[in-house]
Amino acid sequence: MRMRIGGLAVALALAAGAGAVSSAAVSPAAASATVWSVRLGGAITATAGKAALKDTTTGSVLTCNSARMSGTLKGGIRLPGTGIGSITTATFHCPSPIVPPIRLTARGLPWHLNMVSYNTSTNVGRGTISHLELMLTGPSCSAVVNGTSGTTADGVAAVSYANMPGKLTIHTAGGNLHWYHVSGCAGLLGDGDPATLSAAYAVSPKQEITSP
């Protein structure tokens, strides 16, 4: 059964009542980068109006109407792209018509922000968030999103950062996320199914990340 956006929460309510990967492909105008410059650096927050977590095999989607991350970004010149940022908190608000509600919890923190390539024509850098893991819990359903089924957080999601308007986007392609340890969930999630996370975050204060 294919569920549309928001359908995961509704379907789980019915069920409860019944019982290291590279970033996205580099365009011709972009080039792999080994050193980076960051202004301003320091403490940052990132907020998104919507985030979506999907099982691409079943089509089930959990939609969150807000998401927030905070952490730190290295500042300066000639910085390595690996570990250029650290995400220390990540929260998701995913309203649902059931009690107790579905919860999506970040695990494996701090997550690592890594920059890989830079497009000088668009002023956009691409990279990954690594060390990512998510825990989904709700009535008659629990599951983990990770890179592998092990206990170590090793999920990777492809990202891009646009200097104008200061937006960090998590992309559905280019990562290694899968669903694991699925319990219950009425067949809406499959153990080992590919997972995608998508969101567009406004970063504050706005950063300038360039290479070289």
In terms of phi and psi (left: phi > 0; alpha: psi -120 to 50; beta: otherwise), the region of 150 is beta
Query: Which whole number is the average pLDDT over 2-12?
Result: 46
186: alpha, beta or left? (left if phi > 0; alpha if psi -120 to 50): left
What pLDDT is attached to residue 15?
Answer: 41
Q: What is the dihedral of CA 147, 68, 169, 65, to 10 degrees?
A: 100
What is the chain's mean pLDDT, rounded? 88
DSSP-derived letter for residue 5 is: B
Q: In the prediction, which pLDDT does 96 show?
A: 75
pLDDT at residue 131, as a whole number:
98
pLDDT at 173 over 80: yes
Q: What is the pLDDT of residues 88-141, one digit of tens each?
A: 999 999 987 666 788 999 999 999 999 999 999 999 999 999 999 999 999 899
Give me the mean pLDDT over the 173-199 stretch. Answer: 97
Q: What is the pTM of this model?
A: 0.86
Q: Domain extents for the chain?
A: 7-210
Mean pLDDT, residues 144-158 taken together: 96
Q: Six-digit token pair at 104?
A: 């999506």
Task: Identify the residue with better confidence: 33 or 180.
Answer: 180
Burial letters 144-166, b for 16+ CB under 10 A, else e? bbbbeeeeebbbbbbbbbbbeeb
Given this model, what pLDDT does residue 46 score?
Answer: 98
Residue 144: both structure tokens together: 């983990």
User: Sorting pLDDT into bands at 50, 70 and 90, what band is 29?
Assistant: low
Tell whether the model's pLDDT for residue 23 goes beyond 50: no
Residue for token digits 């409860």?
16
SS (H, E, C) the chain: CCCCECHHHHHHHHHHHHCCCCCCCCCCCEEECCEEEEECCEEEEEEECCEEEEECCCCCEEEECEEEEEEEECCEEEEECCCCEEEEEEEEECCCCCCCCCEEEEECCCEEEEEEEEECCCCEEEEEEEEEEEEEEECCEEEEEECCCCCCCCEEEEEEEECCCCEEEECCCCCCCEEEEEEEHHHCCCCCCEEEEEEEEEEECCCEEECC
Q: Residue 79 has which token pair?
A: 């910085």
